[in-house]
Amino acid sequence: MLKRVVDKTFTVRAPIEVAWNHIAEVEKWPSWAKHIRAVTKSPAGPLSASSNGTLKLSNGAKSTFRMTEFDPPRHWKWVGPFLGLQIYYDHVFAQDEPGKTKIRFTVDSTGGPTVLFRPIFAMIYRRNLEQAIPLLIQEIEAAAGEKNSTMASA
């Protein structure tokens, strides 16, 4: 049975395409997610339904992922093992009003010694997100500003 361990929603001042494209560049996540040292993804090219990869964390641990759902620009979900758990990471995008996108990150887990590891994983992951999301918002909104400047000068 899946158990929700993280559910974080935030809004960026950017069109949904800008937000999606920015977050879908998973190899660039270390610029805003300081708990991630590196991300490798295959196949090469844009994120896709067949994407899989590895996140190398700043503490030296590695976490692998494989895409399970892919519906651009609305959401993607991937799954991977971590600390004996199966972790499901969902990335959901919704544009409720022009120029603003609501982003929701959910993390569910199942399997393994969940009674012991789930609370520890959830605490660490929530703390990492609290530090990462403000940086991510800055990057997305800067990208939206650059896109607007380019369109205005065209």
User: Residue 60: left if φ>0, alpha if ψ -120 to 50, beta else—which one?
Assistant: left
Q: What is the reported pLDDT for 1?
A: 77
Give the whole-angstrom CA distance, residue 30 versus residue 46: 17
Confidence check: pLDDT of 132 > 70: yes
Query: 3-class secondary structure for 1-57?
Result: CCEEEEEEEEEECCCHHHHHHHHHCHHHHHHCCCCEEEEEEECCCCCCCCCEEEEEE
The H or E element that residue 66 is part of is strand 62-71
Q: What is the reported pLDDT for 154?
A: 47
Give the whole-angstrom CA distance, residue 33 versus residue 99: 24
Please give the residue that has the higher pLDDT: either 147 or 70: 70
- Domains of the chain and CATH, by start: 3-153 (3.30.530.20)
pLDDT tens for each residue of 70-114: 999 999 999 998 777 889 999 999 998 999 999 999 999 887 665
Give the whole-angstrom CA distance, residue 92 versus residue 32: 18
Q: What is the DSSP letter of 113?
A: S
Confidence check: pLDDT of 19 > 50: yes
Question: What is the pLDDT confidence band of residue 121, given thresholds at 50, 70 and 90?
Answer: confident
Cross-strand partners of 93: 103
Confidence check: pLDDT of 3 > 50: yes
Confidence check: pLDDT of 148 > 60: no
Output the pTM of the full model.
0.89
Phi, psi of 19 (to 5 degrees): -65, -50
